[in-house]
Amino acid sequence: MDNIDSLWNQALGKIEKKISKPSFETWLKSTKAYLLQGDTLTVTAPNEFARDWLEERYSHLISDVLFELTGEELEAKFIIPPNQEDDDFTVPVQPKKIKKQDKEHAAFPQHMLNAKNTFDTFVIGSGNRFAHAASLAVAEAPAKAYNPLFIYGGVGLGKTHLMHAIGHYVLEHNPNAKVVYLSSEKFTNEFINSIRDNKAGEFRDRYRSVDVLLIDDIQFLAGKEQTQEEFFHTFNALHEESKQIVISSDRPPKEIPTLEDRLRSRFEWGLITDITPPDLETRIAILRKKAKAEGLD
């Protein structure tokens, strides 16, 4: 077992240099070697979501790294160890140095991203762990993982932070990507103004040509029939072109009143995940994180 542990630790060291820090810490840092039998190395993953993502996205990379280390064609298989509790899946959160490029992106009106809201500054707990993992999966593979990604939960729980983090991650890895973040209220106001100013065509071109659309507080579209109609066609245009859509709300689609059924149906095409209020440990971690960021520790 010691030899297996040594092999896997060496593999992790190489993998860490080949992928982004948030990806490594979320998906691979907590994995452990379990069994080497024949040409299969069995590795434990913290939960089903991580196991499936590792097998789908990283199996080839891991096999290549294992070949570099051993000269043998080894296949990595991921399992969840018996009696493994999901709460063991934690991600250390460390401050991120914001690159000049990130600051420039944050300043662009079409992005409207808060430079502080990245994956590295997000504090993970039991109530937001799945939403964080799903958001990172979307950021790593826009329009390939979950499209749309629908995140819902109460005010101040981190929905907007995750949406901004997705935007930052996409721009960091593809600076030429067209990423737009806005609230549904801003979408509504711009739509109304475009009709008033006879610029509906420009409005449609702007929002139907993006690579990633991050739209916050979608519940405010309720009751706005014309805006819902416009957003329905915007959604269809982006989805048909394999562009990523991320939506947030204070409630799941089925509970948004006067939301058209056709929109509700499309919101359910992808993944719907919630964020629940943090437990005591997570609240303390958040406070400590904020204090450190403000230089109060």
Task: From 53, 87, 121, give the residue that closes a domain.
Answer: 87
Whether residue 55 is found in the same domain as residue 167: no
Q: What is the mean pLDDT of residues 67-73?
A: 89
State the pLDDT confidence band at 100, using cuts at 50, 70 and 90.
Answer: very low
Phi-psi region at 190: left, alpha or beta (left = phi > 0; alpha = psi -120 to 50): alpha
Whether residue 178 is found in the same domain as residue 130: yes
Whether residue 83 is found in the same domain as residue 194: no
pLDDT tens-digit profile of 6-15?
999 999 999 9
290/76 Cα distance (integer angstroms): 39
Any idea what the CATH number is for the domain that residue 75 is in? 3.30.300.180
Non-local (6+) Cβ contacts of 17 within 8 A are: none
295/297 Cα distance (integer angstroms): 6
Under a CB-based contact definition with an 8 Å cutoff, are residues 13 and 5 in contact? no
Whether residue 129 is found in the same domain as residue 225: yes
Q: Is residue 253 part of a domain?
A: yes
Q: Is residue 94 part of a domain?
A: no
What's the distance, Cα to Cα, between the start and end of the chain in Å?
A: 41
19 versus 26: which is more confidently predicted? Answer: 19
pLDDT tens-digit profile of 132-189?
999 999 999 999 889 999 999 998 899 999 999 999 999 999 999 999 999 999 999 9
Omega before 46 within 30 of 0, i.e. cis: no
Q: What is the mean pLDDT of residues 253-266?
A: 92
Whether residue 106 is found in the same domain as residue 129: yes
| CA 231 from centre of chain | 22
pLDDT tens-digit profile of 189-204?
999 999 888 999 999 9
Whether residue 112 is found in the same domain as residue 235: yes
State the pLDDT confidence band at 66, using cuts at 50, 70 and 90.
Answer: very high
Sign of the CA dihedral 186, 192, 193, 194?
positive
Tally of domains in the chain: 2
Look up the domain containing 123 and give its range: 100-292
Concatenated DSSP letters of 35-75: EEETTEEEEE-SSHHHHHHHHHHTHHHHHHHHHHHHSS--E
What whole-number percentage of the chain has pLDDT above 90?
A: 52
Q: Is residue 186 part of a domain?
A: yes
70/5 Cα distance (integer angstroms): 14
Q: What is the mean pLDDT of residues 273-296?
A: 78
State the pLDDT confidence band at 257, using cuts at 50, 70 and 90.
Answer: confident
State the pLDDT confidence band at 105, using cuts at 50, 70 and 90.
Answer: very low
- How many helices and strands in the chain, by DSSP H and E? 12, 8
Tell me which residue of 130, 132, 134, 129 sits closest to 117, measured CA to CA: 132
pTM beyond cutoff 0.85: no
Whether residue 41 is found in the same domain as residue 144: no
Instruction: Say which range, 3-17, 105-119, 215-229, 273-287, has the weakest mean pLDDT.
Output: 105-119
Q: Is residue 16 part of a domain?
A: yes
Whether residue 80 is found in the same domain as residue 104: no
Residue 241 has pLDDT above 50, yes or no: yes
